[in-house]
Structure 1
Amino acid sequence: MQASDTELMLKGYGLTTAEFFYRMPDYRNVLNSFVWQDYDLAPDHPRLFRFIEFWQAEIEGPLHSVRFTHRKMISPGEWRNVVGEFHLH
């Protein structure tokens, strides 16, 4: 069973967005772009590098460059379970 996005964020994962620039197999002078997003662990980014390895092994368009950013939405220290509430009036 896969973990939900919230569970991943509580385990320290953050949203990684990468833009891949690659050359067309038949038209080497043309650059295209592809945007990829997944929850990943910084600073090693294992899912991003696994996808880059997949691209190099399976996709015919050779990579020109990759630009990425990582944003940690929440962390375990920022989330807490509230067990009570107050009612006014």
Structure 2
Amino acid sequence: MTSYTDAQIEEALDGLPAWSQEGEAIVKSFEFADFMAAISFINKAAGSIDEMDHHPEWTNVYNRVDIRLSSHDVGGVTDRDVQLARVLERVAAAS
């Protein structure tokens, strides 16, 4: 697996609202109504994330979940990161 070029990342982000490139990763902050809604999002996403065996860097502060996706084994953004971003978008939309 090879990492995306900057142009490939930009193209992939066209279909992912509010995601951006930050160094060798793609990032987004999700905001929810409150702490319980943010935790619910994390819990709902956990099963799909584990099935993919590609775990995000994320932090939770009250109603916000900040996510950073990067394939550390190749040192950049790959298909796995873009696929996981799409999964997280679907989970957030259903939350």
Could you state the TM-score of these two structures normalised by the residue count of structure 2?
0.32
Please identify which structure carries the higher strand content.
Answer: 1
Could you state the TM-score of these two structures normalised by the residue count of structure 1?
0.34
Please identify which structure carries the higher helix content.
Answer: 2
